[in-house]
Amino acid sequence: MDRKDTALEAVLEQLIEHGPGEIASVFARAFELAMQIERERFLGASHYERTPERHGYANGYKPKRIDTPAGTVSVQVPKTAGHGEEPFYPQSLERGRRSVRSVMLAVAEMYVKGVSTRDAEAVMREFGIESLSSSQVSRAAKLLDDELEAWRNRSLGQVKWHCQVDGVMEGR
C-alpha cells in the first residue's frame, strides 16, 4: 500500500469513527491530500522520488483557514521551491478567496435585506464560518454595489416607440 492509499484510508477511518459530525475535519484531511497530489504533479515527482522530469522540490506547508459549507477548517497548504519563476498554488484553492460561493450568496442576500455587517458576521458564525469579518461583508456589499451600478448604467440600445392612434400605427 503506498503513502496516498494509507492517507486516504486514514481519512475514511476518521469518517467511519466519527460519522457526519466530524465532516469538517474529514473534509480538511481529504483536501490536504488533494493538494499534496497537486504538488506532486506540479513537481513531476512523488514525495522523495528522484526523476529527470522533476523540477523543484517540496518545501513544507503553510497553515490556512478556509470557509466551507461544513464550517471553517484549517488546512496545511503544500509549498514548493527551486522550480524557477512559475509559482505553485493548488488549483483547489482559489487564490485570494476565503469564502465559497454559497457563503458569498448568503452575505449578498443579507446585504440586500438590509442586515448590518455586524449582524451578518454573527449569522455566519452561527453556521460555523468563523473567519468572516465586518470588512469582508463590506467588500461583498461593495461588489454588489458595483454590479448594480453597472446594471443601472448599461446601454439599452436604440428604442423604437410605437403608438397606435385611431387604428393606425405611427412612429415606425
Residue 80 and residue 143 in one domain: no
**Residue 23 in this model has a pLDDT that exceeds 90:** no
Residue 36 and residue 117 in one domain: no
Residue 80 and residue 35 in one domain: yes
Q: How confident is the model at residue 172 (pLDDT cuts 50, 70, 90)?
A: very low
**Residue 144 in this model has a pLDDT that exceeds 90:** no
Residue 77 is predicted with a pLDDT of 92
Residue 63 and residue 49 in one domain: yes
Query: Is residue 58 domain-resident?
Result: yes
Q: What residues make up the domain containing 62?
A: 1-95
Residue 84 and residue 110 in one domain: no
**How many distinct structural domains can be found in the chain?**
2
Q: Which residues of 65-97 are buried (b: 16+ CB within 10 A; e: fewer)?
A: ebbbebbbbebbbbebeebeeeebbbeebeeee
Helices marked H in the chain: 3-18, 23-43, 101-112, 117-126, 134-152
Residue 90 and residue 53 in one domain: yes
**Residue 96 in this model has a pLDDT that exceeds 50:** no
**Residue 101 in this model has a pLDDT that exceeds 70:** no
149 by DSSP, 3-state: which? Answer: helix
Mean pLDDT rounded to a whole number for the chain: 77
| Residue 110 or residue 157, greater confidence | 110
Residue 115 and residue 42 in one domain: no
Query: Is residue 66 domain-resident?
Result: yes
**Residue 131 in this model has a pLDDT that exceeds 70:** no
Residue 171 is predicted with a pLDDT of 46
Residue 35 and residue 107 in one domain: no
Q: How confident is the model at residue 160 (pLDDT cuts 50, 70, 90)?
A: low
| Residue 46 or residue 125, greater confidence | 46
Query: Is residue 37 domain-resident?
Result: yes
The percentage of residues in the chain with a pLDDT greater than 90, rounded to a whole number, is 5
Position of cell 385611431? 166
**Residue 40 in this model has a pLDDT that exceeds 70:** yes
Among the candidates 95, 130, 147, a domain finishes at 95
Query: Is residue 67 domain-resident?
Result: yes
Residue 54 and residue 126 in one domain: no
Residue 78 is predicted with a pLDDT of 92
| Residue 72 or residue 63, greater confidence | 63
**Residue 133 in this model has a pLDDT that exceeds 70:** no
